[in-house]
């Protein structure tokens, strides 16, 4: 009781200072964003930034994508920029390549890269070769993206990794993001690039949350294609990895 009456008699400034000293403050929790939402955010920002950008593929519009990567984009941008296609990879990949040659910037989603084999002629012989064959006069600014590699219980036709295949094709740039920060920065750079870019996403990583730094939340955030990222600094050993293997190498 005496302690309370003593507090009452003190000046208000002294009392408030005493109360502050009795509590500690924790640092604010870092924003957590899944890889799926990071890709969605990157595409959304580029669709908003450049009216030449559009997305097409199977179930990307009204269904929000097979893996919900394009969630909300159809409602925001409408049928002309978020386009559902028939189950015909050769057909809609060809449409996308032609649109890129005509000056647009298509994002062509394969429901799985295993089915990009149906469109391999469009990807390799049309998109990848045209800039060189035209003597640098005809760029093909297109993004081919979708899940690639093994997942859980998806059987033989959905489990192949095409990183080495596409990585050995002249004329293509190939990226394979790991974290949410990587996914957003690379998809935005891929969309802005004047060359065809293959973005190989990991189905197992779509729902994994990562810390999302303030820098990555900016609409101007980009990760340059072709420059290695150091995830963990060391002195004695150099280890390179891509995709979900990055986590195993940095343990």
Given 45, 46, 58, 158, the catalytic residue? 158
- Residues 206 and 177: their CA atoms lie apart, in Å, by 11
Q: Are 217 and 43 in contact (CB under 8 A)?
A: no
**89 a catalytic residue:** yes
CB contact at 8 A, 55 and 107: yes
Q: Mind giving me the DSSP string for 198-211?
A: EEEE-GGGTT-EEE
Q: Look at residue 33 and give its three-state secondary structure.
A: strand
CA 98 to CA 142: how far, in whole Å? 10
Residues 6+ apart with CB under 8 A from 4: none
Cβ-based neighbours of 30, under 8 Å, separated by 6 or more: 211, 212, 213
| 118 close to 84: Cβ distance less than 8 angstroms | no
H/E element, 23 = none
Is 158 among the catalytic positions?
yes
Annotated active-site residue in 46, 58, 89, 181? 89
Kindly list the catalytic residues. 89, 158
């Amino acid at each position: 009781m005496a302690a309370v009456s003593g507090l009452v008699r003190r000046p208000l400034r002294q009392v408030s200072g005493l109360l502050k000293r009795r509590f500690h403050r924790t640092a604010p929790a870092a924003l957590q964003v899944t890889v799926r939402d990071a890709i969605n955010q990157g595409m959304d920002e580029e669709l908003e930034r450049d009216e030449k950008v559009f997305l097409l593929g199977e179930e990307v519009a009204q269904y929000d994508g097979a893996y919900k990567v394009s969630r909300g984009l159809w409602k925001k941008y409408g049928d002309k920029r978020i386009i559902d296609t028939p189950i015909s990879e050769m057909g809609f990949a060809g449409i996308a390549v032609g649109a890129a040659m005509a000056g647009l910037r298509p994002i062509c989603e394969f429901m799985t890269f295993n089915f990009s084999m149906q469109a391999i002629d469009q990807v390799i012989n049309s998109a990848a070769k045209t800039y060189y064959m035209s003597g640098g006069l005809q760029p093909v600014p297109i993004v081919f993206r979708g899940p690639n590699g093994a997942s859980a219980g998806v059987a033989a036709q959905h489990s192949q990794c095409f990183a080495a295949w596409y990585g050995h094709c002249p004329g293509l740039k190939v990226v394979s993001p790991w974290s949410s920060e990587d996914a957003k920065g690379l998809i935005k750079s891929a969309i802005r690039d004047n060359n065809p870019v293959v973005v190989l996403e990991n189905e197992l990583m779509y729902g994994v949350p990562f810390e999302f730094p303030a820098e990555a939340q900016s609409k101007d955030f980009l990760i340059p294609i072709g420059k290695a990222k150091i995830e963990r600094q060391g002195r004695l050993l150099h280890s390179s990895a891509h995709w979900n293997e990055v986590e195993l190498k940095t343990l």
